[in-house]
Chains A and B, each alone.
Chain A
């Protein structure tokens, strides 16, 4: 009887050891696949935009892999799981990367090998936020990604604060309105042939941006070039 029990335990241990080993391997393979995808999309954006500054792309399951801002100090763009999980296609992953590339690229410009520019970005993140959003749209278009994905991703991933007067970031609704205006002005093709029009994320954007879009409509109809104060 003891022999049977011993045999059963040995068999049981071997089976679970193997099962765990397979799970580990699958997890590693999945990480490699994610890493390769991110690197390929990132490099495509860099190459298509002729960005001469070096940057690397890292995928991380952890919440915070490196302390501080690795995109500004080490030019290492880290994509955390908590950001990727909102992305539903390659265009949306490109949207996250394009924005970080715009930021990281700016950290190369100016005095002291970009230290001053990086300090400016840290000191006035709200000011640079809109600039990087717009730059990201251009980077995406040059790399043949659909910029509407920037709207759908931002609408899904960023929360909405009550006010932004004393905040270091703009209201997400404000960012979305400026992005929409920028795409309309520079790349109307993507709005006229909108692949995302019937996606839930874009429909939700249309629903939640009615007032801002009315302001923009008024600007277009009046022919004004003034900057709109979106909410």
Chain B
């Protein structure tokens, strides 16, 4: 019996010594424990041979302003379809239908006239495959860099005057219902 105990003790000692001290991401464990997460859909099954496409015209339902803490990454937005969409004589989307898109990310305006930017992606349109939609929608604010940067470079030999242009800010991006968003759908863009 003692032999069995000794063997167990030796085995236990060795396994304990070899075990690494690992950290568990307890925050993820706690907060995502009861959340059902699905693997995001990738787009590796592409075939860009076809040029056949139709356009979907949208406008945002509620204006957004790309100021700090007003919007956030991953925020869902609603868009209204502006015109009926037909493909092969079949009605795909009706005027005034609502579709959703997601703020992929955004930046606020910066020094030297650099504009803010809002990038919208992941349009979810009932009955359509998002991998067959082309491109993102990017909206920038007022851009003054074309005037400010040459001024900055001209003033740089006279320090610190070049740095004064830092106080000139660009415009924050905003998306209003006056912005017409056109996205293209290519029905044959999959293998």
Partner of B25, one of A48, A187, A194: A194
Whether A142 pairs with B37 at a CB distance below 8 angstroms is no
Whether A143 pairs with B43 at a CB distance below 8 angstroms is yes
Contact with B along A46-79 (1 / 0, CB 8 A): 0111101000000000000000000000000000
State how many angstroms separate the Cβ of A173 from the closest Cβ of chain B: 16
Partner of A131, one of B28, B105, B121: B105
Please give, as numbers and ranges, the residues of chain A lying within 8 Å of B18 by CB-CB distance: none
Whether B69 pairs with A192 at a CB distance below 8 angstroms is no
Contact with B along A120-148 (1 / 0, CB 8 A): 10011001101100110010011110000
Contact with B along A206-231 (1 / 0, CB 8 A): 11000001001100100001110000
Which B residue's beta carbon lies closest to that of A132? B105
Whether A123 pairs with B149 at a CB distance below 8 angstroms is yes
Which A residue's beta carbon lies closest to that of B45? A48
Partner of A116, one of B28, B110, B146: B146
Chain A interface size, under 10 / 10 to 19 / 20 to 34 / 35 or more: 35 or more
A201 within 8 A of B: no
Whether B31 pairs with A220 at a CB distance below 8 angstroms is yes
Whether B28 pairs with A227 at a CB distance below 8 angstroms is no
* Bound Cα distance from A156 to B27, whole angstroms: 23
B68 within 8 A of A: yes
Please give, as numbers and ranges, the residues of chain B lying within 8 Å of A216 by CB-CB distance: 27
Whether A144 pairs with B105 at a CB distance below 8 angstroms is no
Whether B46 pairs with A187 at a CB distance below 8 angstroms is no
A109 within 8 A of B: yes
* Bound Cα distance from A47 to B138, whole angstroms: 19
* Bound Cα distance from A15 to B105, whole angstroms: 61
* Bound Cα distance from A128 to B40, whole angstroms: 25
A12 within 8 A of B: no
* Bound Cα distance from A120 to B28, whole angstroms: 37
* Bound Cα distance from A203 to B21, whole angstroms: 10
Partner of A110, one of B38, B105, B112, B140: B140
Partner of A47, one of B24, B48, B152: B48
* Overall SS of chain B's interface: loop
Which of A18-26, A84-92, A178-186 is found at the contact surface with chain B? A178-186
Whether A135 pairs with B110 at a CB distance below 8 angstroms is no
State how many angstroms separate the Cβ of A76 from the closest Cβ of chain B: 22
Given contacts A119-B149, A131-B117, 20 further A-B contacts (CB under 8 A): A49-B43, A50-B48, A50-B134, A50-B135, A109-B138, A120-B112, A120-B145, A120-B149, A127-B107, A134-B105, A138-B105, A141-B40, A142-B42, A144-B42, A186-B74, A187-B40, A191-B25, A197-B25, A217-B31, A220-B31
B3 within 8 A of A: no
Partner of B28, one of A111, A135, A182, A191: A191
B residues contacting the other copy or chain, number (CB 8 A) = 42
* Bound Cα distance from A207 to B119, whole angstroms: 33
Which B residue's beta carbon lies closest to that of A188? B37
Please give, as numbers and ranges, the residues of chain B lying within 8 Å of A163 by CB-CB distance: none
With contacts A50-B134, A50-B135, A188-B32 taken as known, whether A135 is within 8 angstroms of B27 at the C-beta atoms is no
Whether A189 pairs with B140 at a CB distance below 8 angstroms is no
Which A residue's beta carbon lies closest to that of B134? A50
With contacts A110-B140, A189-B37 taken as known, whether A119 is within 8 angstroms of B145 at the C-beta atoms is yes
State how many angstroms separate the Cβ of B152 from the closest Cβ of chain A: 8
* Bound Cα distance from A206 to B140, whole angstroms: 36
Residue from A185, A187, A206 whose CB has the most chain B CB atoms within 10 Å: A206
A198 within 8 A of B: yes
Whether B38 pairs with A189 at a CB distance below 8 angstroms is yes
